[in-house]
Chains A and B, each alone.
Chain A
Amino acid sequence: MRVVVERLSKTFADRRGREVAALRQVDLAVESQEFVALLGPSGCGKSTLLNVIAGLLPATSGQVYFEGEARPGRPTSATVFQEFALFPWRTVRANVEFGLEELGVSGAERAERTRRYVDMTGLAGFEGKYPHQLSGGMRQRTGIARALAVEPAVLLMDEPFSALDAQTRTLMMDELLGIWARTRQSILYVTHNIQEAVFMADRVIVLSRRPGEVLDVVPIGLGRPRRESQQTEAAFVQAAERIWGLIKSQAQAALLESAPAERGG
């Protein structure tokens, strides 16, 4: 199924009751099996957009819909959170099972699917551990396995690796690409890191700062499977420069803004 975001706007009321526009007339689509990165400076409403797509926030105007053949028992989206958002009272296995429980997947199939995605994300042997016993990387693997297990139409990833240290982040990016190559799970990947976006995605959608508007959509012409050595290729460097050119002035303006944005993004 493809996800379509159509003329989506979102305004919040701030503390003084003034209307603040977070997103303005956003149009975008994620095709089936596609890896799309959503990139923008901080406070551009990236997380807001993800929340609207996930059905956790109502849109002010415009809509989000899923197009194509719906498979019964398959949710439209599942989210991987920046702060992991694992249930501390559940073991790795029980965390991965959570979405399947809510979908009403029966015991045997639930166990089978849980094992498949635990294996795929490299969590085998850690099933009985609680989140506080795991490193940040293993926690986010659990978050990814939990989201993959429900086999959503689109996987929403909200800066999934930004809470990890730099080395772990590089390893996790490689692993995510490996998982994507195997499952062809369509992914909408939010980040503020240009290298990360260009390295992983088929297309990079660049948002402006608040109110977030689509500045440009940059196709990435790098072959797959992606390797770190490609980061010196002309296609990589050109794409990264083009994106930086689009958001540099935006980022500078964001830097000079006195108050931090009330909502993440």
Chain B
Amino acid sequence: MSMPRLVVVDRAAFLRRPDHRTLRVLALVGLVILWEAITRTGWVSPLFLPAPSAVLAEGYDMARSGQLFVHLGTSLARLAWGFGIGAAAGIGVGVAVGFFSLADAVVQPIIAATFPIPKIALLPLLILWLGIGEASKVAVVALGVFFPMAINTYAGVRQADPLLIRAAVSFGAGRWSVIRKVVLPSALPMVFAGLKLGAGIALLLLVAAEQIAADAGIGFLILQSGNLMDTTRLMVGIVVLSLLGVCSHWALAALERTVIPWRHS
């Protein structure tokens, strides 16, 4: 005669979240196939929804003729300048405001007052000041990147461990040594969070600016194609923007892993 048993079962099974790797790929592929299938049935006019294969073919043609790269190059140059200037200024201001009480008192209220302005609203003013050329578009992107960078860097600097700062000072570190060797490395993870945020904002502002006043660039390409009812070209522009966003995020994540080796590994 055996005694009755109560076997323990895994009650937390439903809390586990497996990775479902293949499903991740399938979902994206499935969407494209569905889209292609719908357009092939003829239910939807290509004017409203061109087939993915048509978008791909159009993109290939535009790449071969070089048109695509003219637009892409123009946009990338504006992005690079705007993002670079905005990020550098944001990091500099963020460190200064985070570390020096004088800079904090002067700059903090100014940032608080100007941060809520939607930056695209400043484009007409920037065009008035800097002209209709590249400078005004670069400036609007730089402004958009500056704020999240400054605010994130500031937060990162304020989060620096006071114990580490005291340790550095006890070993003879002065103000600049503390900033360079303790405060900046402490702030790096927050700086990278700001860079990722800034990259998204930069793309948004760039396209908006290019749709308001430009004669080249991905934003201009999309607007012009729309006006000409050339939906396939329009879609090429949108796909390029999506790729730009994905690539910039991926590149920043890779850079973060190499610059902050003490956090990964």
Contact = CB atoms under 8 A, between A and B. Distances in A.
A172 interface: no
Interface in A132-162: 132-133, 146, 150
A83 B170 contact: no
A81 B172 contact: no
Contacts of B164: 85, 87
Given A85-B164, A102-B177, A132 B169 contact: no
Contacts of B171: 75, 78, 98-99, 102, 146, 150
A87 B181 contact: yes
Query: SS class of chain B's interface: helix, strand, loop or mixed?
Result: helix
B163 A81 contact: yes
Interface residues of A, number: 23
Interface centre among B163, B169, B171, B181 (most CB of A within 10 A): B171
Given A87-B185, A130-B262, A81 B173 contact: no
Interface string B141-176: 000000000000000000000011011111111000
Contacts of A56: 166, 169-170
Contact of A89 (B166, B168, B169, B262): B262
A98 B169 CA distance: 11
Contacts, number: 50
A123 B185 CA distance: 24
Interface in A105-152: 130-133, 146, 150
Contacts of B262: 88-89, 130-132
Nearest to A102: B172
Interface centre among A77, A83, A85, A133 (most CB of B within 10 A): A85
Contacts of A54: 170
Contacts of B260: 89
Contacts of B173: 102
Given A78-B170, A89-B262, A98-B181, 7 more contacts: A78-B171, A85-B163, A87-B167, A88-B262, A89-B185, A102-B172, A102-B177
Interface of B: 163-164, 166-173, 177, 181-182, 185, 188, 260-262, 265
